[in-house]
Amino acid sequence: MKIGVCVKQVPAKDAPLTVADGGAWIREADIGFEMNEPDAYALEEALRLKEKHNGEVVAISMGPERAKQAIKEALAKGADRAIHIADAEFFKLDPLSSARSIAAAIKNENFDLILTGLQSDDQGFGQTGVLLAELLDRPHATIIMQIDVAEGRMKLKRELEAGWFQWVELPLPAVLSIQSGINKPRYATLKGIMAAKKKEIATVERASLGVPDAPTQRVERIYVPQKTKKTEFITGQPKEIAAKLVEKLRHEARVIS
């Protein structure tokens, strides 16, 4: 099985975010980046499918030079090789242009299966997998919690809302968006980190892919939302805070006895 897995690098969870000049993106200097957590589940699922069915796992990442860090992590965990679609300003892309770029970069790979995480923790569009399926003319399914492959078909467990699930069947080749929590992602081993140094990272400039510059939408500005609720902050030493909070919950809000 030849599996492509899309991994994105996003600001680290605890990174302090400030809006950059121009207002349409965050200030990237001085913050840490990490592999998008939902994509780590997709990568793990790709590695497990390879362990079960043999084949190859190719990590695909679009982003500036720093995205190579996420690629190296994927290689250290066990991906066989990687494709880096380089674009210093890729954060400006709308979901369709992003997906068109990835589709153009991988169309000759003829993957049996392409996996993505459910959404990115930065922009959170949650569209890449579905769009890749449409652009590459593949069937797809999203929010996947289990994958069973047999005889060129997959039986998949899809999560629906409110505790419901559904089984669906799909032929291969296909595209799947993986739900977080489907597995327990592995850590990279020292051996894996050493082995990754010899693995191939093919870099392709996004500008060379011939994807038309035809954005369908534009982020005009990002901003910290205005509070709609007045929060009463309680300060002091832990004991004082505890006494004040219990007092307020008991006698002001009257929600505990």
Partner 1 sequence: MKILVITEQRDGKWNKVSFETLAAAQQIVREAGGGLSAAVVGKQIDALAAELSGYQLDEVHFIQHDLLEKYTPDGYTIALRRLIEQTKPDLVLLPHTYQVRDFAPKLAASLQKGMIGDCIGHRYEGGKLTFVRQMFQGRTNADVVFLGDAPWVASFQAGAYRADLAAKRTSGNAPVSPFAVDLQPSQIRTKPLELFREAKQAVDLTQAPILVSVGRGIKAPENIALAEKLAKAIGGELCASRPICDEGWLPMDRQIGSSGQTVAPKLYLALGISGAIQHVVGMKGSRTIAAINKDQNAPIFEVADFGVVGDLFEIVPALIEELEKPH
Measured from the CB atom, is 80 or 122 closer to partner 1?
Answer: 122
The residue within the footprint of partner 1, chosen from 29, 150, 190, 255 (CB under 8 A), is 255
Shortest distance in whole angstroms from residue 197 CB to partner 1: 30
User: Greatest CA separation found in the chain?
Assistant: 67
**8 Å CB contact between 46 and 80:** no
Judged by CB under 8 A, which stretch of 47-55, 62-70, 71-79, 153-161 contacts partner 1?
153-161
User: Please, what's the b/e burial string for 112-148 (b: 16 or more CB within 10 A of its CB; e: otherwise)?
Assistant: bbbbbbbbbbbbebbbbbbbbbebbebebbbbbebbe
The residue within the footprint of partner 1, chosen from 56, 69, 159, 201 (CB under 8 A), is 159
Residues 179-208 contacting partner 1, CB under 8 A: 179-181, 184
Characterise 231 by phi-psi region: left (phi > 0), alpha (psi -120 to 50), beta (else): beta
Measured from the CB atom, is 61 or 177 closer to partner 1?
Answer: 177
Binding mask 106-145 for partner 1 (x = CB under 8 A): ---------------xxxxxxx--xx-xxx---xxxxx--
Is 219 a binder of partner 1 (CB under 8 A)?
Answer: yes
Residues 8-67 contacting partner 1, CB under 8 A: 11, 13-14, 16-17, 19, 26
Closest by CA position to 94, among listed 230, 211, 235: 211
Q: Cα separation of 211 and 222, whole Å?
A: 26
Measured from the CB atom, is 78 or 173 closer to partner 1?
Answer: 173
Judged by CB under 8 A, which stretch of 1-9, 109-117, 152-160, 187-195 contacts partner 1?
152-160
CA end-to-end span of the chain? 60
Measured from the CB atom, is 198 or 230 closer to partner 1?
Answer: 230
Mode of pairing for the β-strands spanning 140-150 and 81-86: unpaired
Judged by CB under 8 A, which stretch of 28-36, 47-55, 70-78, 235-243 contacts partner 1?
235-243
E strand or H helix at 10: strand 9-11
